[in-house]
Amino acid sequence: MLLSDQQRQDIEQLRGDGQQTRRATVAALEEMLYEPLPVLDHGFIRVVDYMGDDAAVVQAARVSYGRGTRRISEDRGLLRYLMRHRHTTPFEMCEIKYHVKLPVFVARQWIRHRTANVNEYSARYSILDREFYIPEPAQLAAQSRSNRQGRGDVLEGEEAVRVLDILREDAARNYADYQEMLNEDDEGNVIDPGRAGLARELARMNLPLNIYTQWYWKTDLHNLMHFLSLRADAHAQYEIRVYAEAMMDTVRAWVPLTAEAFEDYRLGGCQLSRAALDVVKRLLAGEEVAVESSDLSPREWRELMALLGR
């Protein structure tokens, strides 16, 4: 269940209400406004509000009164210049607010990005839904032997089946115990009238990290791009990366010229250290360069060679 019946009714009402405004709006993002974009098995992101557009970034950079009469090509060139030279403050003029439904363990990774305003669903006041993230078999992987934060080979056969069984059984048992401690069933009815039940703020503590939570997350465009540069990266954990990729779709709709520059210079580009740049210059000059003469660590050397496709 992506959305509750009440949330669906609220969305239908919001999308049905037209608003007149003198503020800048973006037609492509208006089409996405309030609609949930599914992520993982029960999660979603949806844009609930935004401020500004590509022109707002340009306006801030030029400190002009309005949109002006410059051509789109000039605006694109300026946006690419700002992105290329990391002039970040003009991008802070745009803001966006998301409603996100995500597993708790993903939320704990996400919250490390401290440059946003966050308000999370409170299990002190409300009862959490019986919804748990269960990975697809393709995402069940062993611990990587070379990367302490990464995954290795995908589990197969009986081992994969057993892991999925454990996840499902633990989730079902823990939620049943949660209800037992609350003394409430799925409909909110009292199970045993003869006892009071444990306070919600205490009963929640046995729930596993794969249960879903929800929050509103508001940030500016500069800090959103910083989040995406880390979490939409191929090395990011899959479960948070798919949220970042869905958010990237909203950024392309919202600020297409900025998104293009961001993908070219940040997501698709790289930054080299002084020693790495020196190696590139020596290679271009036709010199044979080895790790021993590069002033790079073995890991830095491997990363550079991977970037250069060597």
Residue range 12-41, pLDDT digits in tens = 877 777 778 888 899 999 999 999 999 999
Query: For 187-210, what is the mean pLDDT?
Result: 92
Task: Tell the residue number behind the tokens 């009986």, with chain if given.
Answer: 158
Arithmetic mean of pLDDT over the chain: 91
Report d(CA 230, CA 162) in Å as an integer: 32
Angle at the Cα of 307 from the Cα atoms of 78 and 141, rounded to 5 degrees: 110
Each residue's pLDDT tens digit, 233-250: 988 999 999 999 999 999
Q: Which are the contacts of 278, defined by CB distance < 8 A and separation ≥ 6?
A: 294, 295
| Plot region of 309 (φ>0 → left; ψ -120 to 50 → alpha; else → beta) | left
Q: Which are the contacts of 141, defined by CB distance < 8 A and separation ≥ 6?
A: 151, 152, 153, 154, 155
Identify residue 156 by its one-letter amino acid code: E
The single residue of 46, 200, 204, 231 carrying the catalytic annotation is: 231
Task: Tell the residue number behind the tokens 């056969």, with chain if given.
Answer: 157
Q: Is the pLDDT of residue 253 over 70?
A: yes
Each residue's pLDDT tens digit, 273-309: 999 999 999 999 999 999 999 999 999 999 999 999 9
DSSP for 175-202, please give it.
HHHHHHHHTB-TTS-BS-TTS----HHH
Sort 178 into a burial class: Cβ within 10 Å, 0-12 / 13-18 / 19+.
buried
Q: Is the pLDDT of residue 149 over 80?
A: no
Task: Tell the residue number behind the tokens 């958010």, with chain if given.
Answer: 247
Sign of CA dihedral 85, 86, 92, 94: positive
Whether residue 231 lies in the annotated active site: yes
Which DSSP letter does residue 155 get? P
Edge to edge, the sheet with strand 43-51 lists 37-39, 43-51, 95-103, 212-220, 117-120
Under a CB-based contact definition with an 8 Å cutoff, are residues 45 and 243 in contact? yes
Predicted confidence band of residue 64 (pLDDT cuts 50, 70, 90): low
Can you give the pTM of this predicted structure?
0.90
Q: Is the pLDDT of residue 257 over 80?
A: yes
Under a CB-based contact definition with an 8 Å cutoff, are residues 227 and 244 in contact? yes
